[in-house]
């Protein structure tokens, strides 16, 4: 079969070093895929873990992202990879970034939930709560609906459209290539990469100011938040806010560093950041207290000992009054 790769040869003097870096890239990809899948399955099947549909969609989007990098395992070193496999991976890699708005929707949901707590639900517009899936604390609110969120459908629809479009543009082997580091396949034309980059940049331009505003709102209403019974709700807790902010910083940094791989640096180092971000997502979102307890399901939950009232056996009236 003709080679689907027209990439410049990797300029490494030591092929063993290249093999080691490819192995590390594949290992990170598989670890990210397995850890994210484990977190999602535990959260879905555990009766004591409650997450919103947007939370699941966000993590599933990262599963798709890291799974796309595992498609070429076993075909990165040596001969050219199968044309069909290379084409599917290239289309996936360029289409997956459109799932970033899932995270934006998740942050918007957090803002709605926190506003419902600190602003006593007075400023929550009915259309907004219907547009985004609402957290459990709004379940009894008149504006909260249980219909599927409209925002849930948009990123997935755009992803499918772009995937089919990118796949349809591949007419010959020369239109896809294995990158200079031989780690994954991508489209030879720069247009898909530019589209994906613009989507990520636009999403980040919305996410960062929104997270800053959430912090401002929380600081202004800290006393109200601390006194609320919902402050420990995993969907709107201070913990999830900190985790989201941390993930934004780390993921944006990872995307920025991985952009160096587009400069034909002839080293897999920068491309390794592509596989580290999914692992960070599994750690950040999979280590909340309720999930940690679910991981060790065989351990009985610690409960406070029941208070025992000692009454004289000769005083049946006192015993009856306590009952």
Task: Write the DSSP assignment of 257-320 as a string of letters.
Answer: HHGGGGG--S-STGGGHHHHHHHHHHHHHS-SHHHHHHHTTTSPPP-PPPP-----TT-HHHHH
pTM for the structure as a whole:
0.77
In a domain? residue 93? yes
What proportion of the chain, given as a percentage, has pLDDT over 70?
72
Higher pLDDT, residue 88 or 319: 88
In a domain? residue 1? no
131 pLDDT tier (thresholds 50, 70, 90): low
Q: Reply yes or no on whether the pLDDT at 165 is more than 80.
A: yes
The pLDDT value given to residue 287: 93
In a domain? residue 21? yes
d(CA 225, CA 304): 26
Q: Reply yes or no on whether the pLDDT at 44 is more than 80.
A: yes
Name the domain count of the chain.
1
Higher pLDDT, residue 121 or 224: 224
For residue 175, the enclosing domain spans 15-322
Q: Which of 4-8, 64-68, 244-248 has the highest mean pLDDT?
A: 64-68
Three-state DSSP at 114 gives helix
In a domain? residue 8? no
Q: Reply yes or no on whether the pLDDT at 135 is more than 80.
A: no
In a domain? residue 111? yes
How do residues 199-219 score in pLDDT, each as one tens digit? Answer: 778 888 888 898 899 899 888
A 10 A CB-CB count for 59 gives: 23
Question: What is the mean pLDDT of the segment spanning 280-285?
Answer: 93
How do residues 50-87 score in pLDDT, each as one tens digit? Answer: 888 888 988 998 999 899 999 988 888 777 888 888 88
In a domain? residue 222? yes
In a domain? residue 10? no
The pLDDT value given to residue 279: 94
Lowest mean pLDDT among 12-26, 171-185, 248-262: 248-262
The pLDDT value given to residue 308: 40
A 10 A CB-CB count for 151 gives: 20
Q: Reply yes or no on whether the pLDDT at 130 is more than 60.
A: no
d(CA 25, CA 184): 10
Question: What is the mean pLDDT of the segment spanning 290-305?
Answer: 74
Q: 72: domain CATH number?
A: 1.20.1070.10
The pLDDT value given to residue 291: 93
Q: Reply yes or no on whether the pLDDT at 9 is more than 50.
A: no
Question: What is the mean pLDDT of the segment spanning 8-30?
Answer: 74
């Amino acid at each position: 079969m003709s080679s689907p790769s027209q990439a410049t040869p990797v300029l490494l003097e030591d092929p063993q070093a290249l093999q080691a870096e490819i192995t590390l890239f594949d290992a990170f990809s598989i670890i990210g895929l397995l850890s994210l899948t484990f977190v999602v399955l535990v959260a879905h099947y555990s009766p004591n873990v409650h997450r919103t549909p947007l939370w699941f969609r966000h993590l599933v989007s990262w599963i798709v992202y890291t799974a796309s990098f595992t498609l070429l395992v076993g075909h990165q070193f040596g001969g050219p990879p199968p044309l069909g496999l290379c084409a599917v991976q290239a289309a996936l890699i360029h289409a997956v970034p459109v799932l970033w708005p899932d995270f934006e929707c998740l942050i918007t949901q957090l803002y709605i939930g926190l506003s419902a707590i600190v602003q006593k639900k007075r400023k929550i517009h009915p259309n907004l709560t219907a547009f985004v899936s609402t957290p459990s604390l709004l379940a009894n609110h008149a504006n909260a609906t249980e219909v599927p969120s409209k925002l849930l459908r948009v990123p997935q629809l755009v992803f499918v459209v772009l995937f089919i479009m990118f796949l349809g543009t591949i007419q010959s082997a020369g239109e896809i290539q294995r990158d200079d580091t031989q780690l994954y396949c991508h489209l030879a034309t720069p247009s898909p990469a530019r589209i994906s980059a613009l989507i990520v940049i636009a999403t980040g331009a919305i996410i960062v100011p929104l997270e800053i505003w959430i912090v401002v709102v929380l600081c202004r209403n800290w006393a109200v938040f601390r006194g609320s019974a919902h402050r420990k709700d995993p969907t709107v807790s201070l913990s999830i806010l900190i985790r989201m902010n941390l993930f934004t910083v780390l993921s944006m940094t990872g995307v920025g560093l991985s952009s160096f791989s587009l400069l034909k640096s002839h080293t897999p180092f920068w491309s390794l950041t592509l596989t580290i971000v999914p692992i960070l997502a599994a750690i950040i979102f999979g280590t909340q207290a309720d999930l940690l307890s679910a991981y060790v399901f065989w351990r009985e939950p610690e409960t406070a000992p029941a208070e025992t009232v000692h009454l004289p056996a000769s005083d049946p009236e006192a015993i009856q009054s306590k009952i």
